[in-house]
Amino acid sequence: EPEVTQTPSHQVTQMGQEVILRCVPISNHLYFYWYRQILGQKVEFLVSFYNNEISEKSEIFDDQFSVERPDGSNFTLKIRSTKLEDSAMYFCASNWDKGFSGANVLTFGAGSRLTVL
């Protein structure tokens, strides 16, 4: 079964450092997403990306965050200057279409745990 893959699985960084989290969405998917989950809390939408541009973003996704599709397979989330409160699990997800058809399941990756010290 196709999977969304994420690297690294865990990253520890110092406050103020830049972090890049990487994702390889499922190959025929066109829509890509980043979510985050602070430990013990709910999953929160950050941003969606289609056709090489952001299509939607939440209030959490401020100027410290950026996303990029640098090549045909990778989708990255960059945090420019990490803060303590950025510590969370970051999930990448993808699906193939914006619409609501039955087969258009949002598939999550295994997550990248970010710890900011």
Partner 1 sequence: GENVEQHPSTLSVQEGDSAVIKCTYSDSASNYFPWYKQELGKRPQLIIDIRSNVGEKKDQRIAVTLNKTAKHFSLHITETQPEDSAVYFCAASPRGGSQGNLIFGKGTKLSVKP
Residues lying near partner 1 in the complex (CB under 8 A): 31, 33, 41-45, 48, 55-56, 91, 93-95, 97-100, 104-106, 108-111
Among residues 18 and 97, whose Cβ is nearest to partner 1? 97
C-beta closer to partner 1: residue 63 or 100: 100
CB 70 within 8 A of CB 80: no
CB of residue 4 to partner 1, shortest distance in Å: 8
Report the 3 state secondary structure along 20-61.
EEEEECCCCCCEEEEEEECCCCCEEEEEEEECCEEEEECCCC
Pick 13 or 107: Cβ nearer partner 1: 107
